[in-house]
Structure 1
Amino acid sequence: MSRYDRYVLSQYLLFFGFFALILVAVFWINRAVVLFDRLIGDGQSALVFFEFTALSLPNLIRMVLPVAAFASSVWVTNRLNSESELTVLRATGTSPWQMAKPALAFGIITAIMMSILTHFLLPTSIATLEQRETEISRNVTAKLLSEGDFLHPTRGVTFYIGRIDPDGTLNDVFLSDRRNPDQVVTYTGGKAYLVRDEDRTHLVMVDGMSQRIDMQTRRLSSTIFSDFSYDISSLANKAEEKTRNIRAIPSLELLQDRARLIAEGPYSAGALAEELHLRFARALVCVAVALIGFSALMVGGFSRFGVWRQALVAFVLLIFVEGLRGVVSEPVLENADMWPLIYLPTAVGVTAALIFLQLASKPLGPIWARHRHGRRSQNGDETEGGMA
């Protein structure tokens, strides 16, 4: 690459980092609000909150990286055009194909970033995030040890502690279990203790009462007990029973052990093929959007009104490519042999970029000018003939 190409490539990378940082920050704030409400509200520490937000960053970056690449390509190309740098290059005989070299190199670099992200960082982060969610869901004590608040550790269950002594004794305990639609059970106890038994957690209530309401007969029965043990392990989310996330499966395992994954897991051959090829397609689409952003702005001549029309065309094409990515997934999910459709959006984007570059290298302006001049001359001859 020439010195000018390296200069343009550095501008692409600079503004790519800027746009990626802004977009990730926006998405991260929205994600952080949800995580803060869920984790801090469940009694977790700020360290756990920052750990979860860090593990969710690869997925956020994966979402915004193609958009940041497109925005950087459009911004830098527009600036080079407005500062007449591209005009000078054209005047020296440089073709749009040669000027597209930095954009192509920029697209390849972003594609490499996306490949590292989708094949390595994203599966690892999702697997680690699932493991940490499992560990936290088992920590029932952290969820329930909050005095003075009515907690809802799971749907249909309400738990309340009036006061917690320094030695861990729970006072004025209230537990309402409404998970069974035919029966509502309410437990109250003057004192209670949390007891761990291997991987189980029991709430031992002392000097309390149990009240059961039969929703069919509307009959209430009460039982006074001196001590009662209630297994509260079921109140935690049983993450260990959750299905393995398909995005947490490494790409090498998807490529080599597909038959085993189909036999062991709930995922079909189409779902596994769609996930594997989508990881490759996400990288290739970065090349397509970078070329679209550059080539679309190269079409047309100089205008005092800027290149907003070309930018609008590029933006519409970007939306079309992104929307097409969602359409082609359905046939692949039904039939794994249709996996080449996953690469159709990339092919459409690259084809459109090549057409734009061809139009830029052979503009239609002179042709239309000659055509209009010919018509004007013909009309002039006819007029002169009529006057004669």
Structure 2
Amino acid sequence: MARLDRYILAQLLWVFGFFSLVLVSVYWVNRAVRLFDQLISNGQPMSVFLEFTALSLPMLIRTVLPISAFVAATYVTLSLLRSSEITVLQAAGISPFRLARPVVAFGLIVTAFLIVLMHFLIPEARAELSRRQMEVAQNLTASLLQDGVFQHPANGVTFFITEITAEGTMRGIYLSDARSQLQRIDYTARTALIVPEASGPKLVMIDGQAQIFDRRTGRLSVTGFGDFTYDLSTMTGPAGRGRSVQELGSSELLAATPALLEETRASVAQFRFELVSRFVDGFAAVAAALIGFSSLIAGGFSRLGFWREVVVAVVLMALVQTLTNALAGPAMRSTALAWLGIVPLGLAVAVSLGLIAWATRKRRVRT
């Protein structure tokens, strides 16, 4: 690699590392605050909180790396333009396409990290996180089985059991749900059972009544029921489900067996789209870096500043992400359209090359 390539690449990697650290920290703190409030309020120890946040890091890093690649390419190119280094290099006969070589190399380095994340670390982290969430949900459900004690499994929820028989049947149930600002509902039942389901545990109350107090009007209504099902997953989280498509390894996505389709409750199109996305999302770093570089290099040197070029780069990134989201729906509904995930990446690279070609043809320097 030429000295020029090493010089630009070193700056790109340094800025990329700095912004990646900052963005991951911001995302992690935002996620950790919500997770801390949820777990600690449910009586979980600090070790569970630390484990959950560690397992969520690969997904956060995957989100941040393409953004950091774009920011690094934009920042370094802007710095080289402001210091007139690019102007001097072009005057020496070095073309914009030649200047793009270290940017592409930088994008491929980030892509290598993303490929490892997408194909190995993230599926494993998602699977382990789901397993631990199910264990926590089961522990929380089991903790409700205490008779003679008023329990508060969630803010605004009070649960009381008079007696638990040897067969596991609960007698004398009282459940108060005051989480809504519009109404408060108090359930009483003669007997009840906790039934595990794929969407989460359910409390089946038999022979009881529900007292609904409307906070706006101050009216109380009473409704009797023979049996009523109350969803406990809002407090304990889902449990007992199979793996999702995102938790499968890439080799399993290639072989969409009937057993896997039944376990994940997904279609073959979703399998194909997920597999394509793991490659496309990896190479998104190359496209992001090229967009940041080409948008600025196309504008050339200007004493009036480069804010227009920066705005163009940001708008192009937003359009690529919007197109990605728009094409995801059709691609997941039809196996024949799974290739649509490649379209935003291809368009981003094509637009970037077009901007670099425009910079090559440009001769006049703006003043």
CA spacing shift, 1:19–1:149, aligned 2, 3 Å: farther
| Matches of 1:282 and 1:219, distance apart in 2 | 53
Structure 2: runs of 5 or more not aligned: 162-171, 178-184, 192-206, 212-220, 226-231
Deviation of the 1:234 alpha carbon: 9.5
Q: What residue in structure 2 maps to residue 123 of structure 1?
A: 123
1:176 to 170, 174, 177: 174
Does structure 1 retain, via aligned residues, the 8 Å contact 2:12–2:73?
yes
Q: What residue in structure 1 maps to residue 62 of structure 2?
A: 62
Q: What residue in structure 1 maps to residue 152 of structure 2?
A: 151
Deviation of the 1:154 alpha carbon: 10
Deviation of the 1:340 alpha carbon: 1.4
Question: SS where residue 68 of structure 1 aligns?
Answer: helix
Does structure 1 retain, via aligned residues, the 8 Å contact 2:174–2:188?
yes
TM-align CA RMSD:
3.4
| Matches of 2:364 and 2:133, distance apart in 1 | 61
Counterpart amino acid of residue 19 in structure 1: F
Q: What residue in structure 1 maps to residue 332 of structure 2?
A: 333
Question: SS where residue 100 of structure 1 aligns?
Answer: helix
Deviation of the 1:102 alpha carbon: 0.6
| Matches of 2:330 and 2:234, distance apart in 1 | 40
Counterpart amino acid of residue 65 in structure 2: L
CA spacing shift, 1:178–1:298, aligned 2, 3 Å: same
Q: What residue in structure 2 maps to residue 292 of structure 1?
A: 291
Structure 1: runs of 5 or more not aligned: 162-173, 188-210, 221-232, 369-388
CA spacing shift, 1:321–1:109, aligned 2, 3 Å: same
| Matches of 2:357 and 2:342, distance apart in 1 | 23
Q: What residue in structure 2 maps to residue 204 of structure 1?
A: none
| Matches of 1:63 and 1:268, distance apart in 2 | 25
1:55-94 to 2 correspondences below 5 Å: 55-94=55-94
Q: What residue in structure 1 maps to residue 114 of structure 2?
A: 114
| Matches of 1:234 and 1:85, distance apart in 2 | 59
Question: SS where residue 25 of structure 2 aligns?
Answer: helix
Q: For residues 1-51 of structure 1, what are the alpha-carbon distances to aligned partners after superposition, in whole Å with 9 as ceiling and x for unaligned?
A: 211211211111111111111111111111111111111111111111111
CA spacing shift, 1:326–1:106, aligned 2, 3 Å: same
Q: What residue in structure 2 maps to residue 29 of structure 1?
A: 29
Q: What residue in structure 1 maps to residue 11 of structure 2?
A: 11
Q: What residue in structure 1 maps to residue 310 of structure 2?
A: 311
Q: What residue in structure 1 maps to residue 215 of structure 2?
A: none
Larger Rg: 1
| Matches of 1:175 and 1:3, distance apart in 2 | 76
Q: What residue in structure 1 maps to residue 103 of structure 2?
A: 103
Does structure 2 retain, via aligned residues, the 8 Å contact 1:296–1:353?
yes
CA spacing shift, 1:143–1:78, aligned 2, 3 Å: farther
Counterpart amino acid of residue 60 in structure 1: L
Deviation of the 1:97 alpha carbon: 0.8
Deviation of the 1:244 alpha carbon: 1.8
| Matches of 1:279 and 1:24, distance apart in 2 | 20
Q: For residues 171-198 of structure 1, what are the alpha-carbon distances to aligned partners after superposition, in whole Å with 9 as ceiling and x for unaligned?
A: xxx962479x9962289xxxxxxxxxxx
1:161-200 to 2 correspondences below 5 Å: 176-177=174-175, 184-185=188-189
| Matches of 2:300 and 2:33, distance apart in 1 | 47
The answer to whether residue 276 in structure 2 is matched with residue 272 in structure 1 is no
Deviation of the 1:321 alpha carbon: 0.5
CA spacing shift, 1:214–1:115, aligned 2, 3 Å: closer
The answer to whether residue 251 in structure 2 is matched with residue 247 in structure 1 is no
The answer to whether residue 63 in structure 2 is matched with residue 41 in structure 1 is no
CA spacing shift, 1:263–1:126, aligned 2, 3 Å: closer
Q: What residue in structure 2 maps to residue 301 of structure 1?
A: 300
Q: For residues 256-303 of structure 1, what are the alpha-carbon distances to aligned partners after superposition, in whole Å with 9 as ceiling and x for unaligned?
A: 245542254410111111111111110121111111111111113321
> In the comparison of the two structures, how many residue pairs are matched?
319
| Matches of 2:113 and 2:233, distance apart in 1 | 42
Q: TM-score, normalised by structure 1?
A: 0.74
Deviation of the 1:243 alpha carbon: 3.7
Does structure 2 retain, via aligned residues, the 8 Å contact 1:138–1:236?
no
Question: SS where residue 241 of structure 1 aligns?
Answer: coil
| Matches of 1:288 and 1:12, distance apart in 2 | 15
1:221-240 to 2 correspondences below 5 Å: 237=236, 239-240=238-239
Deviation of the 1:64 alpha carbon: 1.4
Query: Alignment identity in percent?
Result: 39
| Matches of 2:210 and 2:238, distance apart in 1 | 31
The answer to whether residue 363 in structure 2 is matched with residue 359 in structure 1 is no
Q: For residues 130-166 of structure 1, what are the alpha-carbon distances to aligned partners after superposition, in whole Å with 9 as ceiling and x for unaligned?
A: 1111111222388559x998513599x62369xxxxx
Q: For residues 69-95 of structure 1, what are the alpha-carbon distances to aligned partners after superposition, in whole Å with 9 as ceiling and x for unaligned?
A: 100000011111111211121111111
CA spacing shift, 1:158–1:109, aligned 2, 3 Å: same
